[in-house]
């Protein structure tokens, strides 16, 4: 769900994911991309791509941190974990 929000409304998707600085950077990226998008339509995708990549990186970092914490607590990986 967050990925869809990040693709359609990039700054809002980043805020929902807990990344306010990335949301501000995305707002700054949107302005020139709208202007350049009138000439090169591919630029319309840049803010959405930035948001989707940032959300993915944050979520994978959280997942990895949870696995490391579980290994440190229990000495074994969490149930259902596959390398």
pLDDT tens-digit profile, the chain (83 residues)? 899 999 999 999 999 999 999 999 999 999 999 999 999 999 999 999 999 999 999 999 999 998 888 888 887 777 777 76
Q: What is the dihedral of CA 18, 58, 47, 9, to 10 degrees?
A: -40
How many Å apart are CA 57 and CA 61, to the nearest integer?
6
Q: Is the pTM of this model over 0.85?
A: no
Q: What are the tokens at 28?
A: 């700054």
- For the chain, give every domain's residue range: 2-74
Cα maximum dimension of the chain: 56
CB atoms within 10 A of CB 13: 25
Q: Which of 43, 57, 55 is nearest to 3 (CA)?
A: 55
């Amino acid at each position: 769900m967050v990925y869809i929000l990040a693709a359609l409304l990039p700054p809002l998707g980043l805020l929902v994911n807990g990344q306010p600085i990335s949301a501000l950077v995305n707002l700054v990226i949107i302005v020139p991309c709208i202007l350049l998008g009138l000439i090169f339509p591919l630029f319309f995708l840049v803010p959405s791509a930035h948001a989707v990549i940032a959300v993915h990186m944050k979520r994978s970092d959280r997942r990895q941190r949870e696995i490391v914490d579980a290994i440190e607590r229990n000495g074994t990986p969490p149930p259902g974990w596959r390398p």
